[in-house]
Structure 1
């Protein structure tokens, strides 16, 4: 068994998918365009992100979220980049010695984390 998609409930699937498209660079599917959902196609074997329209708004903290690791920027550069794209700072867990992560929220309030890049980790354990 494999995970095909990670599904995210939201108010505006196309707006939220466009944000994540800009963040990841993953293409939006043009198959069966519909106002009620939008799909980002991730590079295999990563599951796609499926955004589904739901009537209720987000009420509490996510029970599951993404931990992203930048590949071409530092953690701090990635955080600034994501904020410029429309994310907002939620919790800052960076430490004085440079470790830690930052929790952001996407435009609909879904939490996600940005960790240090592989090059910043050096010989650290995850």
Structure 2
């Protein structure tokens, strides 16, 4: 059965990051909250770079993957 979703493949490279990201990924979790997704990514080796989450539930978190690439985690559809 073919998936109807989008897939991304991430490959570890030997060279260090030397410039700003050439593209930027925003994630919107589908089966968990934004904060649950942030915790999951941190457990997988990401680092919290900037935390723009607000007490009222708005905002996002910017993380770095182990190679230093940035990814933002937005609120899930259920949290909007």
TM over 0.5: yes
Runs of 4+ in 1 over 2 A off after TM superposition: 43-53
Q: Distance in 2 between matches of 1:98 and 1:59?
A: 34
How many residue pairs match? The answer is 78
SS of residue in 2 equivalent to 1:49: coil
Structure 2: tracts of 5 or more residues without a match: none
Q: Distance in 1 between matches of 2:25 and 2:43?
A: 19
CA RMSD of aligned residues (A): 2.0
CA distance change for structure 1 residues 74 and 50 in 2, over 3 Å: closer, same or farther? closer
Q: State whether residues 103 and 114 of structure 1, in contact with CA within 8 Å, keep that contact through their aligned partners in structure 2.
A: yes
Q: How does 1:23-42 map to 2 (within 5 A)?
A: none
Give 1:45 deviation, angstroms: 5.5
Give 1:48 deviation, angstroms: 3.8
Deviation string for 1:72-92 (max 9, x for gaps)?
A: 111011101110111110111
- Higher strand fraction: Structure 1 or Structure 2? 1
The residue that corresponds to 2:43 in the other structure is 84
CA distance change for structure 1 residues 44 and 50 in 2, over 3 Å: closer, same or farther? farther
Structure 1: tracts of 5 or more residues without a match: 1-42, 122-126
The residue that corresponds to 1:103 in the other structure is 62
Deviation string for 1:2-55 (max 9, x for gaps)?
A: xxxxxxxxxxxxxxxxxxxxxxxxxxxxxxxxxxxxxxxxx44525426374x6
For normalisation by structure 2, the TM-score amounts to 0.80
Question: Which has the higher Rg, Structure 1 or Structure 2?
Answer: 1
- Higher helix fraction: Structure 1 or Structure 2? 1
Give 1:63 deviation, angstroms: 3.2
Alignment of 1:68 onto 2:27: yes
